[in-house]
Structure 1
Amino acid sequence: MRNTVLYFLVVIGFFFSCTPSNYEPTKVKADDLHSLMQKVTDVTVHDIFSPPVASRVYVYPSIATYEILADQDSSFRTLAGQLNGLAPIPTPESKEVNFKMAALYANYLTSKKLIFSEEKMEEWLADWKAELVNRGLTDDEWEASVNYATKVHQHIMTWADEDNYNETRTMSRHPLSDKPHHWEPTPPAYMAAIEPHWNKIRTFVLDSANQFIPKPPYEYSLEQDSPFYQEMMEVYEVVKGVDKEKKEIASFWDCNPYVMNITGHVMFATKKITPGGHWMGIAKIASVLDEADLMKSSYAYTKTSIALADGFIACWDEKYRSNLIRPETIINRKIDDDWTPTLQTPPFPEYTSGHSVISTAAANALTDVYGDNFSFLDSTEVKYGLPTREFKSFMEASQEAAISRLYGGIHYRRAIEEGVWQGQKVGEWIRENLEFRNNKVIAEN
């Protein structure tokens, strides 16, 4: 009898000792990450984040996801020690952690911390957890994964809190100048210039905000043979003669998160996606077309978000250095007071073109992930009432985004061309100085 009891105890002990190794984690899909990133975009639109701030909302959650996944995938490298100030994430204490689940939960927590409408993120979480339960989620798996995700989230937020963002919230407004070539608020809302201190935000891969300073804008002159006057008149004539196709291109890439509409005595705002949100949408489209798994999709989002974040910092550094007047202001003052641009002029200085910078940087990042000549149908703007547009490559899309600013009447050509140069430099620097793939492991396999 005693031997029989011992036998059963041994069998039971063996069974429980083997359970963890036989444990099948609940499946977490790339589609789960896509739905989460779409929710983040929806919330940034709802909360009306400016383009630079929205780029910050994307980048930290993306890195949180990537770091957990890369830590479990030998073909990818951690970004700790590569990104400015980022230390290695904590190690898990439980063997019950579902790392894919933890990666998305860390993203959720970090996104929720960076936005205002927390209840909208909580709605996503409730739907996602219900789906995980349908896939076989257990309480122990959920608890272990959430606990680990929370530690990683706290680690990422400690790093984020050191990027000078909080300090810039209390800095002075951009002072207006009486110099004729300097920026002034534009109609219809005449808003103050946004984020004049964004160049003080810690960069991610760039050495500094002013690492890639473009050529200065043309010297202000109203002499008819001067380069400045000629490019001002180019904007004036392009808008007067803009055809249907160019107007559609301008609208497609408008990406103004806060368009003011005036009807009689009534003024109301239309909320729209930011430029960064548009490119994160393209990252999703490319990942779905490629049938990329969760790891590769995270790679695409993370590299794109870093390119956007550093691109905005570099661009905004130049904007408030040159502090150049917008076409609408000078054309109304000197040429035609009835002239209006195709698009509403955004509230910050003209030079360089932000969309030109960040689109070029993001296109470089996505080309690194998915290759050249990656054809795709861009449906990002459909939910905002615009049709799809088809592109043969990410670079083709970025080139159209850049020239759209001329069609929109909000940028001079030099700001576009130098913006493309600046974005290209940012993209190249990230490619050359940030290693995502572990080439040694890839070669061995």
Structure 2
Amino acid sequence: MKSITLIIIMSLFAYMPGKAATGDVLRDAEPVHRALKAVTDIMVHDIYSPPVASRIYAYVSVAGYEAAVPADQRYLSLAGQLHSLQPAPSPALGKPCDFTVAAVEAMLVTAKALVISEDSIERFRLQSIQEFRKRGITEDQLQQSLVYGDAVAAHILAWAAKDYYRESKSLPQYTVTEDDASWKPTPPAYMKAIEPNWNKLRTMVVDSAPAFKPAPAVTYAADTGSVFYKNAVAVYKAGLQLTAEQIDIAKFWDCNPFNLNVRGHVMFATKKISPGGHWINITRIACEKMQAGVLQTLEAYAWVAVTINDAFISCWDEKYRSRVVRPETFINRFIDEAWTPLLQTPPFPEYTSGHSVVSMAAATILNKLFGQSFEFLDASEMEFGLPARNFSSFEAAAREAAISRFYGGIHYMPSIENGVKEGAMLGLFIAAKLITRK
């Protein structure tokens, strides 16, 4: 085990660029950032669950990266590295191609096929084409670039069609049982369990869904001397004495795509980005701070997105294996029937904490790409009315995201602690395995 860890650590230090690649042939990454932000906005509008959003980010980001790779011989394709991904089509020989245009086209065409609001994506795509025209690109070069981008998108979508996502929808859904230990729907919406078969999907880098299976969940017990009961009491007491800072942290990392508000007889939803969307935006912040060019930006998005994708598959595999009941359900029955958590309880089992797994996995990848002491101002939640927060590193942000779930009253502490470990190991594995630079 020590030798494996040493190899992983050495590979991290062997790669870390820490700054934008010098001489990047494609400098202006703003069209790429805008394209992925448009996809995020549409996913917020369409209300995708965190796992589904992670899948969309992964395919869109890989499409953009694969379309741009031929522009710079220093970068390597992800074909043969991501499970079942074959080499993408090459641009036509002797034909002019703008690889930024091709990458944006590949991203948006891929996204259009994966979201509900296809028309919104198409409108943005047409606007992007007009903006590229204003930059002085010739019509011949534009059309050749679009044709190539479309070919890459078709290639990625054919790959996506075989990841078992569609088939998983026809599998048996979660059945609520009478035993006290298993997850039950929670107020106010009492929504059914989300994506109980997510572990059936093809991973992109890790070997399988249970490859990073965490330590077993604490054994359920309702007697007051049990470890499970004491963990619930800790959540309960924390919720009664939250500081202003803890409340701010919990709300900042809420990332609930569908928060149901109840005002008397009126119910309405508040939409936000998913946990994966938050880390995709942190990736943008890092790229912009480092003035990364198009290829380095697409590389960062692809690395983070495929990691988030596999992190959700890993986490959901454990959630529906252990099926742990949420603190709100347990506390209301055995401790205080009037208690409510600060945050709305998500509609899926408790163990492990998704934010903990995904955040630490993403932070581990960003450590590799930008360094372990990367300071940044995270303004991801400002558009949702929350102030920006400063972080001294990606890991510091990930650990705050993890503990926010305890402050929010939706996770027991072991779920957070073991989720952080699960995410770190998964992230280290991916960081050691993928190679995108010669």
Same fold (TM over 0.5): yes
Structure 2 distance, partners of 1:163, 1:328, is 34
1:143-185 alpha-carbon deviations (Å, 9 max, x no partner) = 1111111111111111000000011122222011111110000
1:17-60 alpha-carbon deviations (Å, 9 max, x no partner) = xxxxxxxxx98720111111111110110000000000011011
Q: Counterpart of 2:305?
A: 305
Structure 1 distance, partners of 2:119, 2:27, is 23
- Go from structure 1 to structure 2 and tell me whether the alpha carbon gap of 1:306 and 1:29 turns closer, same or farther (over 3 Å shift): same
Q: Which moved more, 1:295-304 or 1:308-317?
A: 295-304
Number of equivalences: 413
1:78-116 alpha-carbon deviations (Å, 9 max, x no partner) = 111111000001122242222221111101100111111
**Does 1:101 find its partner at 2:101?**
yes
Q: Counterpart of 1:145?
A: 145
Q: Is the 8 Å Cα contact of residues 112 and 118 (structure 1) preserved in structure 2?
A: yes
Q: Which amino acid aligns with 2:269?
A: A
Q: Counterpart of 2:41?
A: 42
**Does 1:314 find its partner at 2:314?**
yes
Q: Is the 8 Å Cα contact of residues 26 and 293 (structure 2) preserved in structure 1?
A: no
CA RMSD between the two structures: 1.2
Q: Counterpart of 1:74?
A: 73
Q: Is the 8 Å Cα contact of residues 27 and 135 (structure 1) preserved in structure 2?
A: no
Q: Which amino acid aligns with 2:353?
A: S
Q: Counterpart of 2:386?
A: 386
Structure 1 distance, partners of 2:295, 2:238, is 44
Q: Is the 8 Å Cα contact of residues 28 and 100 (structure 1) preserved in structure 2?
A: no
Q: Which amino acid aligns with 1:106?
A: A
Q: Is the 8 Å Cα contact of residues 32 and 103 (structure 2) preserved in structure 1?
A: no
Give 1:72 shift. Answer: 2.7
Give 1:136 shift. Answer: 0.9
Q: Counterpart of 1:135?
A: 135
Q: Counterpart of 2:436?
A: 436
Q: Which moved more, 1:350-359 or 1:125-134?
A: 125-134
**Does 1:33 find its partner at 2:27?**
no
Q: Counterpart of 1:86?
A: 85
Structure 2 distance, partners of 1:69, 1:253, is 33
1:321-340 alpha-carbon deviations (Å, 9 max, x no partner) = 00000000010011101100
**Mapping 1:361-376, distance limit 5 Å:** 361-376=361-376
**Does 1:276 find its partner at 2:284?**
no
Q: Is the 8 Å Cα contact of residues 28 and 101 (structure 1) preserved in structure 2?
A: no
Q: Counterpart of 2:167?
A: 167
Q: Which moved more, 1:262-271 or 1:92-101?
A: 92-101
**Mapping 1:105-124, distance limit 5 Å:** 105-124=105-124
- Look at both structures and tell me which one has the larger radius of gyration over its CA atoms: 1
**Mapping 1:386-425, distance limit 5 Å:** 386-425=386-425
Give 1:225 shift. Answer: 2.4
The SS at the match of 1:295 is: helix
Q: Is the 8 Å Cα contact of residues 163 and 202 (structure 1) preserved in structure 2?
A: yes
Q: Is the 8 Å Cα contact of residues 311 and 357 (structure 2) preserved in structure 1?
A: yes
Instruction: Tell me the TM-score normalised to structure 2 length.
Output: 0.93
**Mapping 1:4-23, distance limit 5 Å:** none
Instruction: Tell me the TM-score normalised to structure 1 length.
Output: 0.91
Identity, in percent, stands at 48
The SS at the match of 2:210 is: coil
Q: Counterpart of 2:58?
A: 59
Give 1:226 shift. Answer: 1.7
1:120-141 alpha-carbon deviations (Å, 9 max, x no partner) = 2123223222221111122211
